[in-house]
Amino acid sequence: MDNTWNFIGSKMKSVDKGLLRIQNKIGKKSFIVNNIQSEHPTAVSLLMIEDEDTGRLINHPASLTQESSEGYLYITGLISGIEKNNVLLMTVSKASWFVRKGKGKESWLEEACVYDQL
């Protein structure tokens, strides 16, 4: 298995909640998700906290953002399926880990690790 996915998967497990953003024909929607698990290098499972018709979310592009004290995780992909109890499956196209850097009063995010599904 790819070491970059192992690194990003470990960061994913260290942060409990995240923000899932989905774009569909109507517009953009955001949902709070938790229990985020890296299934394997092409999929992530997410538990929807909010009551939503999850069937309408399948085959829509999505992004997941997580924040921790160590940095930020940003994943893009496609909602590819649903399991029991509002668990969504997301096929990952790209995952990035960012760390906050700074000098004086200025700060920025720097990409520290990237997993890119080709």
CB 65 within 8 A of CB 73: yes
Token digits of residue 25: 């024909």
Nearest 5°: the CA angle 111, 112, 116 is 75
What integer pLDDT is reported at residue 72 of this predicted model?
92
What is the pLDDT at residue 64?
Answer: 94
Residue 1 has what pLDDT? 47
Q: What's the pTM?
A: 0.86
pLDDT digits (tens, 9 = 90+) for 46-94: 888 877 777 788 899 999 999 888 889 999 999 998 888 888 999 999 9
CATH of 3-116, one of 3.20.20.140, 2.30.110.10, 3.40.50.720, 3.90.1310.10: 2.30.110.10
pLDDT confidence of residue 94? 93
Domain ranges of the chain: 3-116
pLDDT above 60 (res 38): yes
